[in-house]
Structure 1
Amino acid sequence: MKSQSPCSAKMMDLLVSYHQAPSVNLRNQLVKLNTGLVRKIVHRLCHQCGEPFEDLEQIGYLGLIRAIERFNPKQGCAFSSFAVPYIRGEILHYLRDRSSAVKIPRRWQELQKTAQRVCSELSHELGRNPKDAEVATRLGISKTEWQEMQVANHNRSPLSLDACITHQHESSPLSLGDMLPDTHAQVLLHWEEDRAQLQHALSQLEEKTRSIIEMVYLQELPRKVAAERLGVSPMTVSRRLKSGIEQLAVFLGQPIQACKP
């Protein structure tokens, strides 16, 4: 059996201590030990948007703190595996909220469509990229307004959910869309705030359905792996996940819609 590294052992000791008696001091120590995890995730995401690394890093730490507060050492899973969805989720929510908060006037949206054609035409006519003043003149607006349009459009550029974020050495491509937690996962995260209530509700489910929910959402196993372990098809896993969440909603007295972010 492989022994834990000193760092891993120290982290687990701190996690156990925090779970038993939470304190700001213990939490801060855990944050320091996991700065590398946060920075690794931020490094992958910051290249897909225009946000500064430092801003995303601070948001990532909020997700890390949420993970620290909700982690239960008795569940037997690695803290890093537990924390990654919280860190990524916090950053992605921030990016989606930020992109949707920047509104472009309707007139500018229409002009932007025309500007793309105008820029292409001018590039062909001039044999070079057109200057701002040349584009503005062709559009019939001032140079200042054209520059303001460009800035506004750049600042609201949405994060591409199809953007590949895996490194070259990783076997299968992973997009930001793949990382977004689905609605059912969000429900489980919401209910985990009252772990005792959730565990009681889970115990009322049919055994196989409960096992599937625990594997996929609490142990974070891929659906295909869960299907193989239980000897069922991935389609069966998906159906049982849906029905299981709906049953949990009834047991807990909360409609699924109320748990959406």
Structure 2
Amino acid sequence: MSTAVSTASAAQLELPHVPCPSEVAPKDAREISRLFFTRLAELEEGTADHQYVRNTLIELNLALVRYAATRFRNRSDQMEDIVQVGTIGLIKAIDRFELTREVEFATFAVPYIIGEIKRFFRDTSWAVHVPRRLQELRIDLAKASDELSQRLDRTPTSAELAEHLGIEVDEVIEGVVASNGYTAGSIDMPTDDTSEFAAPLSDRLGALDADLETAENVQALKPLIECLDARERQILRMRFGDEMTQAEIGAELGVSQMHVSRLLTRITGQLRAGLLAVE
């Protein structure tokens, strides 16, 4: 939005003109925000004036997003995403805030911003998607395990964790299994960190047997071949077992090569149809 449009909108709404809202000092932003919130409550949603006031409030309070983002400075590589997600939380807070709450907007907004950022990590940090219930159970299990380990001076059992959390043992086991989906390792990583010549896990994984499909087809063909008459089975044996040519088969059976060709086409077509029916 241009400065000229901003000035006209502010004058029309009897609000202070804010040339660059995002650069206003936090103390001044609090005072100006109260004026804009008062006016926002009077405007009809969806109008140009309502949009102008709402956008100005967002820019005025972006410092809250940057403040909340500092709590996640250990994830500096994701800081751009964190700020974007935190801004969504700020917008939700603006849309739900009411001056009648008699609470500072910053106090009201920061939990929304942090909540949105945490939701972002919860939904994107897991290597494998698991239900939210299990994501939260993983955190509870980690805390309970630390507490019981200090108290018992050993790793707690599933039964002890279940009793501590007031849940069933099966739920503990389910949570532990789900925790394995939080991170994923590459199969190209060495299996032995102590040796620079260690082979990667991928070298130990089996591969599909190239002849497996052939073996399955042979087993499926056996009952179909048994349904053929003796002459048809003989033709198949000579052509595919003895690898005789059609001319040689014709000479053996006393028929023309063309007739052998028609017989083979009919027999193989019948077998192919039988295999497709089985699949």
TM-score scaled by structure 2? 0.38
**Higher relative contact order, chain-length normalized (CA < 8 Å, sep 6+):** 1
The structure with the largest alpha-carbon Rg is: 2
TM-score scaled by structure 1? 0.40
